Chain A
Amino acid sequence: MNEQVKIDIDRAERTEKLQGMGCKRKRVEDVRFTQGKGSYVDDLKLPGMLFGDFVRSPHAHARIVSIDTSRAKALPGVVAVLTAADLKPLGLHYMPTLAGDVQAVLADEKVLFQNQEVAFVIAEDRYIASDATELVEVVYEALPCIVDPFKAMLPDAPILREDIKDKMVGAHGPRKHPNHIFEWQIGDKQATDDVFARADVTIKEMLVDHRTHPSPLETCQSVASFDKVKGELTLWGTFQAPHVIRTVVSLISGLPEHKIHVIAPDIGGGFGNKVGAYAGYVCSVVGSIVLGVPVKWVEDRMENLSTTSFARDYHMTTELAATKDGKILGMRVHVLADHGAFDACADPSKWPAGFMNICTGSYDIPVAHLVVDGVYTNKASGGVAYRCSFRVTEAVFAIERAIEVLAQKLGMDAAELRMKNFIRAEQFPYHSALGWEYDSGDYHMAMQKAMDAIGYKALRAEQAEKREAFKRGETRELMGIGISFFTEIVGAGPAKNCDILGIAMFDSAEIRIHPTGSVIARMGTKSQGQGHETTYAQIIATELGIPADDIMIEEGNTDTAPYGLGTYGSRSTPVAGAATAVAARKIKAKAQMIAAHMLEVHEGDLEWDIDRFRVKGLPEKFKTMKEIAWSAYNAPPPNLEPGLEAVNYYEPPNMTYPFGAYFCVMDIDVDTGVAKTRRFYALDDCGTRINPMIIEGQVHGGLTEAFACAMGQEIRYDDMGNVMGASFMDFFLPTAVETPKWETDFTVTPSPHHPIGAKGVGESPHVGGVPCFSNAVNDAYAFLGAGHIQMPHDAWRLWQVGERLGLHG
């Protein structure tokens, strides 16, 4: 064996041992999860712990005439019953929302949505608490309710929020009606209107991204334990952002922040549901402070689906203007946003409609104008980012449906129309008409790769034949081809425009190398299943040359972890991942000084080689990171303090912009409306890939949720404001049987401003998937003149399309 081959083998072996970036490392957290050994909030049992349960409103809108808790209090085992009257003296009957509104903790005078929290029963066990809720007697006087957001601002609409009815300026400017929350405008209205006035072709479509719910398998829950002697509160809970929760609890309760310990243990999925603060958290805290013993609150499935937040409910009138040969000239969007009873959207504070202004998508659209009106209705509040950055799924749905509508009007192929309008690779960094700076991309390459992989041309030919066969009555199946080319905006975000309640949206990592060369790293983020314990370790492994298996990642305890803004909006890798790399590099710089001292050379004489510093030109003279760690503590160079650790708080200079090209082939049974996904191909570009297996898992999960949203999942209300189908019998959570088979692929366009070039991937498949499914359905019926078909595309609704088109004979 020649010398060079030996060296190469040695280096390959050392690299493999690290299990660093780019390697399909198995998820370390799965060892406990797959054995049922995870530790969740509801696993917590504390001595003397009590249980809380809510009395909830059967009405969508009603005045509370009286509440009688005497029978409930008399039930043996009941310790206390809280109502708004008890919270009022503490100023806790309302709590601030992330969106600058207030939200009732326990209903005060009125209830504003069905299942709203009216009283909180605290008892010795869960069963007694539940029995006692039935004994609380509440007399209501029903009021007319608003279910349709388009009726919220009618002159004679009932006023929902009497608590703020005279406040004509809200957190985001003037309000036009007592049921109006905000109007948010961006873009050049005049220039956009001019383009529409002159354009050859325009389209206008009302696109509804319907109300649904993130529905993590673990519902929201908390355990509060107040130590009256120390005056300290420990709060365990399902928190995607534990540090922010601590700050908010401190601001609301007046307890100093250092006397509050917030702990988020293992979390069984979040998808945005666990970003906000809920009445249950507050009531468990109040209960524990008042009673001096721990109080647990665990919501059930129906409570989760019907009260703790919702997602979407955007009604988007979307317009495009184009030349007759298909060059898009402008975009105009008006959104009516149904926020429910309180504005509890979980967006960065300055963004009442999230990043909806990413709605120009992947296209070079010269001018655009967007207006969003938020209104109150008698529904649960929330508006959380369900597996997406803030309102990005809505934005991508608008542009990706609209471009298909335009393609149809132009008689152009929808893929070709996209190709014609993509931002070109050389245009990056690209400044969009609505104010974003896209960091990097090569859309044409990604689209071409996807079209070749799926065999786009052949599919269109097959579809043409099938359509003819359908017209001849030889088949009862319609074939649809769905396309979606999305650009996301994730990794919030730069302090100049991103904060939550004034807290800038940085994130953090603290890495400590022990004398023997193993590592603990603590993060400001909080995994809910994303595999942080696996991937952050891989970043450190590559940066510091320490095997990933020797690195422990810890999150979720505000006493030990550095402050961070948490995990949502695909921000963990773009922000905390960057902090990890930067902190590691600080350590590496110190390690180099130590190595130089050990090898008695100048720092500049050293070069990094996988897991060691070696003397340039003398590869046999080296010190491994493990050796350096020992020296760092026990024999540091003179004038250098001992130890080997670093902290970084990373404030990103820009967002990252992952993108992807998705294709779906669907066959629809016209007689039942049942749609079958034959193929789904997803090409994702998330920049540098840290763990391909985790990426693939994230894509599978995100696509499955996208499939659910597009094909049936919804939170529906009847005319009386009764929430329908808030259980897993009706709420569509696909099982392995319904879920299509996913084909995944990728291109790699690193982010130029991120230390390791990574962009984030957890949410892309959801964002890109929803319009892809909807486009497939729409494409299937398009040749029959169906017009735009609204989601969700469950069987009965598709059957109704067939009925409307006279396809059932």
Chain B
Amino acid sequence: MIPGTFDYHRPTTVESAVALLMKLGEDARPLAGGHSLIPLMKTRLASPEHLVDLSAIEGLRRVEVEGNDVVIGAMTTQHSVITSTVLAELVPILRETALVIADPQIRYKGTIGGNCANGDPGNDMPALMQCLGASYQLTGADGNRLVPARDFYLGAYETALEPGEILTEIRIPVPPAGHGYGYEKLKRKVGDYATAAAAVVITMVSGTCTSASIGLTNVSETPLWAAEAAGILVGSTLDAATVDAAVAAAEAITNPASDMRGPSEYRTKMAGVMLRRALERARTRAIA
């Protein structure tokens, strides 16, 4: 529980942060809220020699609407996500999800950018971002590029971030007014990562599901976007047989590790149960 030796840097601009990261190379890591990185350092599973703290950089905490998108600065804390009235109105599933992350103390420090950039399959935001069709703005020495969340996660702790790149903003297309949503998470206690969790966003017209998107948390090496399962729902009235088929399709793409939360087959089944429950809540919320 004692970290190794490291140097600490506190740049005030994105450019200088990127420059530092480029210069220091592999031994440097960005530091956001520190609630994923510092535990890894204390158990010496990570031993970066340099920490580049992003917290003094202006402008990484904005939450604004731009056209059809909401844009969230990477350093926006999970607590701010919960208290933002804009987000509560336009993308309420963000708040529902943030509320089941860790505990209040951690959410005061932990950031949405850190949660998305971390690459731990246990993080809740990534599957939600996939469900919402969000994109990440990555800033590097050559400027900005936009990568869809659905393409960002390559493996456990492996992401599309190139050396020196920082995730600066998250861009989420605002779901249509009247959409139904639900984030259901099974966990052992407050402060626990998901045994399995499911994010669902649907739209209903006259009792028929006209669009659906599903993300699954912590049931594979990466977050999962369950496209096939969502596709099964579209065009149906969400009748029992259709829901069963969608749940089966979602379970089929999972590949969870066995851990203290339970054996693999349990966690797969829980992904199904969470999906069923999230979908049910989404249905009751959707204005058809």
Asked whether A795 and B262 contact (CB < 8 A) given A735-B191, A737-B190, the answer is yes
Out of A301, A716, A734, A737, name the residue touching B260 (CB < 8 Å): A716
CA distance A134 to B3 in the complex (A): 12
Shortest Cβ distance from A799 into B: residue: B266
Cβ of B4 and Cβ of A131 under 8 Å apart?
A: yes
CA distance A68 to B195 in the complex (A): 42
Out of B3, B188, B269, name the residue touching A799 (CB < 8 Å): B269
Cβ of B188 and Cβ of A732 under 8 Å apart?
A: yes
User: Would you call A549 an interface residue if the criterion is a C-beta within 8 Å of the partner chain's C-beta atoms?
Assistant: no
Encoded as 1 (CB less than 8 Å from any B CB) or 0, chain A from 118 to 161 comes to 00000000110111001000000000000000000000000000
CA distance A53 to B44 in the complex (A): 15
Q: Which of A204-212, A408-416, A722-730 contacts B (4 or more CB under 8 A)?
A: A722-730
What B residues does A130 contact at CB under 8 A?
Answer: 2, 4
What B residues does A712 contact at CB under 8 A?
Answer: 188
Smallest distance from the beta carbon of A263 to chain B beta carbons, Å? 25
Cβ of B189 and Cβ of A735 under 8 Å apart?
A: yes
Smallest distance from the beta carbon of B1 to chain A beta carbons, Å? 4
CA distance A729 to B273 in the complex (A): 23
Cβ of B1 and Cβ of A796 under 8 Å apart?
A: no
Query: Restricting to B222-266, which residues have a CB under 8 Å from any CB of A?
Result: 259-263, 266
User: Would you call A800 an interface residue if the criterion is a C-beta within 8 Å of the partner chain's C-beta atoms?
Assistant: yes
User: Would you call A674 an interface residue if the criterion is a C-beta within 8 Å of the partner chain's C-beta atoms?
Assistant: yes
What A residues does B43 contact at CB under 8 A?
Answer: 302
Cβ of A800 and Cβ of B192 under 8 Å apart?
A: no
Cβ of A795 and Cβ of B190 under 8 Å apart?
A: no
What B residues does A302 contact at CB under 8 A?
Answer: 1, 43
Encoded as 1 (CB less than 8 Å from any A CB) or 0, chain B from 1 to 44 comes to 11111000000000000000000000000000000000000011
Query: Restricting to A74-126, which residues have a CB under 8 Å from any CB of B?
Result: 126
What B residues does A672 contact at CB under 8 A?
Answer: 186, 270, 273
User: Would you call A738 an interface residue if the criterion is a C-beta within 8 Å of the partner chain's C-beta atoms?
Assistant: yes
Out of B103, B188, B259, name the residue touching A795 (CB < 8 Å): B188
Cβ of B192 and Cβ of A729 under 8 Å apart?
A: yes
Query: Restricting to A589-634, which residues have a CB under 8 Å from any CB of B?
Result: none
What A residues does B269 contact at CB under 8 A?
Answer: 799, 808
Cβ of A795 and Cβ of B195 under 8 Å apart?
A: yes
What A residues does B1 contact at CB under 8 A?
Answer: 300-302
CA distance A716 to B273 in the complex (A): 27
Cβ of B5 and Cβ of A131 under 8 Å apart?
A: yes
CA distance A301 to B43 in the complex (A): 11
Count: A-B pairs, CB below 8 Å: 59
Cβ of B262 and Cβ of A799 under 8 Å apart?
A: yes
What A residues does B263 contact at CB under 8 A?
Answer: 796
Asked whether A732 and B189 contact (CB < 8 A) given A795-B195, A799-B266, the answer is yes
Shortest Cβ distance from B262 into A: residue: A796
Cβ of B260 and Cβ of A725 under 8 Å apart?
A: yes
Query: Restricting to B172-198, which residues have a CB under 8 Å from any CB of A?
Result: 186, 188-193, 195
What A residues does B186 contact at CB under 8 A?
Answer: 672, 674, 795
What A residues does B270 contact at CB under 8 A?
Answer: 672, 799
Cβ of A734 and Cβ of B273 under 8 Å apart?
A: no
What A residues does B193 contact at CB under 8 A?
Answer: 729
Cβ of B189 and Cβ of A738 under 8 Å apart?
A: yes
User: Would you call A193 an interface residue if the criterion is a C-beta within 8 Å of the partner chain's C-beta atoms?
Assistant: no
User: Would you call A745 an interface residue if the criterion is a C-beta within 8 Å of the partner chain's C-beta atoms?
Assistant: no
What B residues does A734 contact at CB under 8 A?
Answer: 189
Instruction: Please tell me the size bucket of the interface on A.
Output: 20 to 34
Smallest distance from the beta carbon of B188 to chain A beta carbons, Å? 7
CA distance A225 to B263 in the complex (A): 49
Encoded as 1 (CB less than 8 Å from any A CB) or 0, chain B from 269 to 283 comes to 110010000000000
CA distance A129 to B4 in the complex (A): 11
Shortest Cβ distance from B196 into A: residue: A672
User: Would you call A671 an interface residue if the criterion is a C-beta within 8 Å of the partner chain's C-beta atoms?
Assistant: yes
Shortest Cβ distance from B265 into A: residue: A803
CA distance A378 to B3 in the complex (A): 29
CA distance A673 to B273 in the complex (A): 11
What A residues does B4 contact at CB under 8 A?
Answer: 130-131
Out of A301, A671, A738, A796, name the residue touching B190 (CB < 8 Å): A738
What B residues does A126 contact at CB under 8 A?
Answer: 2
Out of B189, B259, B261, B266, name the residue touching A737 (CB < 8 Å): B189
Query: Restricting to A53-69, which residues have a CB under 8 Å from any CB of B?
Result: 53
CA distance A562 to B107 in the complex (A): 49
Cβ of A800 and Cβ of B188 under 8 Å apart?
A: no
Cβ of B189 and Cβ of A796 under 8 Å apart?
A: no
CA distance A127 to B4 in the complex (A): 7
Asked whether A724 and B195 contact (CB < 8 A) given A301-B1, A737-B190, A738-B190, the answer is no
CA distance A301 to B2 in the complex (A): 11
What A residues does B5 contact at CB under 8 A?
Answer: 127, 131
Shortest Cβ distance from A727 into B: residue: B43
CA distance A716 to B263 in the complex (A): 14
User: Would you call A257 an interface residue if the criterion is a C-beta within 8 Å of the partner chain's C-beta atoms?
Assistant: no
What B residues does A134 contact at CB under 8 A?
Answer: 44
What B residues does A300 contact at CB under 8 A?
Answer: 1-2
Cβ of A796 and Cβ of B2 under 8 Å apart?
A: no
Most buried by A among B3, B186, B191, B260: B260
Query: Restricting to B21-78, which residues have a CB under 8 Å from any CB of A?
Result: 43-44
User: Would you call A743 an interface residue if the criterion is a C-beta within 8 Å of the partner chain's C-beta atoms?
Assistant: no
Shortest Cβ distance from A724 into B: residue: B260
User: Would you call A794 an interface residue if the criterion is a C-beta within 8 Å of the partner chain's C-beta atoms?
Assistant: yes
CA distance A249 to B257 in the complex (A): 47
CA distance A252 to B195 in the complex (A): 49
Cβ of A796 and Cβ of B273 under 8 Å apart?
A: no
Most buried by B among A131, A674, A729, A732: A729
Query: Restricting to A268-313, which residues have a CB under 8 Å from any CB of B?
Result: 300-302
What B residues does A301 contact at CB under 8 A?
Answer: 1
Cβ of B192 and Cβ of A796 under 8 Å apart?
A: no
Encoded as 1 (CB less than 8 Å from any B CB) or 0, chain A from 696 to 730 comes to 00000000000000001000100000001100011
Smallest distance from the beta carbon of A726 to chain B beta carbons, Å? 10
Encoded as 1 (CB less than 8 Å from any B CB) or 0, chain A from 668 to 692 comes to 0001111000000000000000000
Smallest distance from the beta carbon of B174 to chain A beta carbons, Å? 32
Smallest distance from the beta carbon of A728 to chain B beta carbons, Å? 8
Cβ of A730 and Cβ of B273 under 8 Å apart?
A: no
Smallest distance from the beta carbon of A52 to chain B beta carbons, Å? 12
Encoded as 1 (CB less than 8 Å from any A CB) or 0, chain B from 187 to 212 comes to 01111110100000000000000000
Most buried by A among B5, B44, B188: B188
What B residues does A725 contact at CB under 8 A?
Answer: 260
What A residues does B195 contact at CB under 8 A?
Answer: 795-796
Query: Restricting to A765-806, which residues have a CB under 8 Å from any CB of B?
Result: 794-796, 799-800
CA distance A735 to B103 in the complex (A): 11
Out of A129, A671, A794, A808, name the residue touching B188 (CB < 8 Å): A794
Shortest Cβ distance from B122 into A: residue: A729
CA distance A729 to B44 in the complex (A): 16
Asked whether A127 and B2 contact (CB < 8 A) given A672-B273, A796-B262, A796-B266, the answer is yes
What A residues does B260 contact at CB under 8 A?
Answer: 716, 724-725, 730
Cβ of A796 and Cβ of B261 under 8 Å apart?
A: yes
What B residues does A129 contact at CB under 8 A?
Answer: 2
What B residues does A738 contact at CB under 8 A?
Answer: 189-190
Smallest distance from the beta carbon of B168 to chain A beta carbons, Å? 30
Shortest Cβ distance from A131 into B: residue: B4
Asked whether A671 and B273 contact (CB < 8 A) given A796-B263, A799-B266, the answer is yes
Shortest Cβ distance from B192 into A: residue: A729
Closest 8 CB pairs of A and B: A796-B262, A130-B2, A300-B1, A730-B260, A725-B260, A796-B266, A737-B190, A735-B190
Q: 15 interchain pairs (CB within 8 A)?
A: A127-B2, A127-B5, A134-B44, A300-B1, A672-B186, A712-B188, A724-B260, A732-B189, A734-B189, A735-B189, A796-B261, A796-B262, A796-B263, A799-B262, A799-B269
A735-B189, A735-B191 are known; give 18 further A-B pairs, CB within 8 A.
A53-B2, A126-B2, A127-B2, A127-B3, A130-B4, A300-B2, A672-B270, A672-B273, A716-B260, A725-B260, A729-B192, A730-B260, A732-B188, A735-B103, A735-B190, A737-B189, A796-B195, A796-B263
